[in-house]
Amino acid sequence: MRTINIGIFGLGVVGGGVLDILQKNRQIIQARLGADLRVTRAVVRNPGKSRNLPLEDVKVSDDPDSILKDKSIDIVAELMGGVDLARQVVMTALNGGTPVVTANKALLAEHAREIFSKAYEKNVSLGIEASVAGGIPILRSLKEGLAGDNILEICGIVNGTSNYILSKMTDEGASFDSVLAEAQKLGYAEADPTFDVEGHDAAQKLAILANLAYGTTLHYPDIHKEGIRHITPMDITYARQLGYTIKLLAIGKRRENMVEARVHPTLISKSHLLASVNGVFNAVFLTGDNADATMSYGRGAGALPTGSAVVSDIMDVARNLLVGIGSKVPPLSVMEDRLTQLEVMPIREITSEYYLRFQVRDHPGVLASLTRVLGEKNISIQSMFQPSQSDNPDEPVQVILITHQAKERDVLNSLHVIAPMEFVMGETQLIRIERF
């Protein structure tokens, strides 16, 4: 039986998971692949560190060249994260014609054109399944399962930390800060949670999903990123009373020569399937013009789920090697001469429905003033909700308006007009609404 030699960069959570899976499921992998997968080398920052991993047959070094210059390595697995060194490693391997499997969403989001073009130019396999939504084989479904579909909409819950926090806030009526503290204790949130709770992680995954869906390489910094820190238990409660759940969504939609690509908290109908995706779980809802609504659900992170995606990619790449081909599916879904350079639609240009929560003095005429300003911008209201009246005139009352479809620009301009009005007692909350 042929042996495929793998060199792994990084023996952290994901790298460790891959080693465990390759050992534990060696028989079943051999049966499916017709070859043996062996990790022969690993590169880590600190080779001397003791690790509870099956490393008996693995040469561990801190020198990237120990893998990159070893001609016996068939596949490079880049599982160390970070962008600079990872980029060097991946580009060097691809340049030398060695297939790469990577879980590195930051690298793929921020240097998409460079990485994918190199894979294309060299006709070498590039496996990226683990970069989005860990154990869910969503990229394969998107590129191959929906190969004949125009992708009309991408809607993902792709950050487990944020989904855990929002789920807990919803179940327990707790505040963002208290749930975050608990999540940190349980290991579901990092000590510095910024990357997760402010939408950056989800935006990187969205970049990859949208690039594959539309055969493009979006300029990553243009993606709108908005986190969940400003979501209050009050908003969650009012949203529920109105029939919605709040989720941090990564949304992608093709709009002629632009792409809407935005990450923000979103009100969705509580009867929609995405509303039932709770805790650290991820789900990606894709609408194709033929397949119609589809959803893929699973664990977005963790040693074994993410390791599972890496191993499936390694097997896919190994199958290419075994039948003697480079890549079978173009790395960015389309042939290189069909790649486009679509722009991200500025967030002010999108159209959406909005949940607007105003904090205002409790006196007659306020509602009329609010709706007049909105009306002047052609923003029409589909419902109004005033949860309670205040006994204390120094305390604001909450007025919630749900708009019909409106231009975000018009909504922002209206809020700009409303902000200095004398009856306004606090900042206005704006949350977009998504219908399916």
- Long-range CB pairs of 321-324 (<8 Å, 24+ gap) are 321/4, 321/74, 321/75, 321/99, 321/125, 322/2, 322/4, 322/33, 322/34, 322/35
How many whole angstroms separate alpha carbon 340 and alpha carbon 213? Answer: 12
Q: At CA 268, angle to CA 267 and CA 274, rounded to 5?
A: 130
- Cβ of residue 103: shortest distance to a second copy, in angstroms? 14
What residue type is assigned to position 231 of the chain? I
- Cβ of residue 310: shortest distance to a second copy, in angstroms? 8
Give the DSSP letter of residue 326.
S
**Token pair belonging to 87:** 């980029």
Residue 205 annotated as catalytic: yes
- For a second copy, the closer of residues 88 and 271 by Cβ is 271
Burial of residue 83 (CB within 10 Å: 0-12, 13-18, 19+) is middle
- For a second copy, the closer of residues 2 and 348 by Cβ is 2
**Helix ranges restricted to H, 215-296:** 233-241
- Cβ of residue 102: shortest distance to a second copy, in angstroms? 16
3-state secondary structure 329-387: CCCCCCCHHHCECCEECCHHHCEEEEEEEEEECCCCCHHHHHHHHHHHCCCCEEEEECC
- Cβ of residue 177: shortest distance to a second copy, in angstroms? 27
- Cβ of residue 255: shortest distance to a second copy, in angstroms? 16
- Cβ of residue 321: shortest distance to a second copy, in angstroms? 11
- Which is the catalytic residue, given 118, 205, 247, 253? 205
**Token pair belonging to 402:** 């749900």
- Give whole-number Cα distances, 69 to 36, 73, 119, 286, in Å: 22, 9, 19, 41
Nearest to 5 by CA among 313, 303, 305, 314: 314
Interface residues toward a second copy, by CB under 8 A: 17, 21-22, 24-25, 28-34, 129, 134-137, 140-141, 144-150, 215, 273, 276-277, 281, 288-299, 302, 304-305, 307-309, 311-312, 314-316, 319-320, 323-326, 328-330, 333-335, 338
Residue 128 CA to chain centroid, in angstroms?
A: 13
Give the catalytic positions in this structure.
205
